[in-house]
């Protein structure tokens, strides 16, 4: 990554993404996290040097941020005008009120033997076009027989391929006649 002082860092109880691109932001970040000496460290004196010494820079900043809880870190950096965001797991995002309020949560309906699930919708909406309901992707082998039939295989040939383990089909689906 070529961006100086912009990366994902571990906190005491999670992860955050921090961006301090310009010199003033870098110096403010160092002060804010209680490591003003990093601002004067010759390895990190310029953006170019911070990129060249990225592993050491990330380790030094990371050591300071690891002492903080995620919420504490976000509040501290935000209060000091440092760009920061929480890195959340998929489960956390789907459970988050902010994400649900955005209309981006989609409930995929059951499809054959595939159970329904909660997932992410498209990150955009077309004007005057409501989001459509979706369903779970078909299970592995859900359409094997139909595809083979369209390719010209007989029911007997399809059954033989299945018995020999050449193809997989959902157990609940019969070989089409």
**Tens-place pLDDT, residues 25-76:** 999 999 999 999 999 999 999 999 999 999 999 999 999 999 999 999 999 9
Mean pLDDT, the chain, rounded, equals: 88
Q: Mark whether 48 and 65 lie in a shared domain.
A: yes
Which CATH number do you get for residue 10? 3.30.1540.10
Percent of the chain clearing pLDDT 70 (strictly above): 93
Please tell me the pTM assigned to this model: 0.64
Q: Mark whether 51 and 115 lie in a shared domain.
A: no
Q: Contacts for 131-135 with beta carbons within 8 Å, 24 or more apart? A: 131/103, 131/106, 133/107, 133/109, 134/106, 134/108, 134/109, 135/108, 135/109, 135/110, 135/111
Q: Mark whether 98 and 127 lie in a shared domain.
A: yes
Q: Mark whether 32 and 76 lie in a shared domain.
A: yes
Q: Mark whether 56 and 119 lie in a shared domain.
A: no
Q: Mark whether 73 and 35 lie in a shared domain.
A: yes
Percent of the chain clearing pLDDT 90 (strictly above): 59
In a domain, 165, yes or no: no
Higher pLDDT, 66 or 142: 66
Lookup result for tokens 């900043």: 61
Task: For residue 129, give its domain range.
Answer: 91-135
């Amino acid at each position: 990554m070529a961006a100086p002082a912009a990366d994902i860092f571990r906190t005491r109880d999670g992860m955050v993404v921090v961006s301090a691109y310009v010199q003033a932001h870098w110096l403010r970040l160092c002060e804010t996290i209680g490591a003003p000496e990093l601002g004067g460290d010759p390895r990190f004196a310029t953006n170019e040097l911070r990129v060249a010494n990225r592993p050491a820079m990330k380790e030094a900043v990371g050591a300071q941020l690891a002492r903080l809880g995620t919420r504490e870190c976000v509040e501290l950096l935000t209060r000091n005008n440092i760009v920061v965001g929480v890195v959340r797991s998929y489960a956390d995002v789907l459970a988050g009120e902010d994400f649900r309020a955005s209309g981006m949560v989609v409930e995929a309906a059951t499809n054959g033997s595939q159970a329904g699930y909660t997932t992410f919708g498209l990150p955009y909406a077309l004007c005057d076009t409501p989001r459509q309901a979706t369903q779970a992707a078909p299970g592995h082998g859900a359409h094997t027989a139909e595809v083979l039939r369209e390719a010209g295989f007989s029911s007997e040939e399809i059954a033989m391929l299945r018995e020999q383990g050449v193809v997989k089909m959902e157990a609940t689906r019969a070989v089409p006649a």
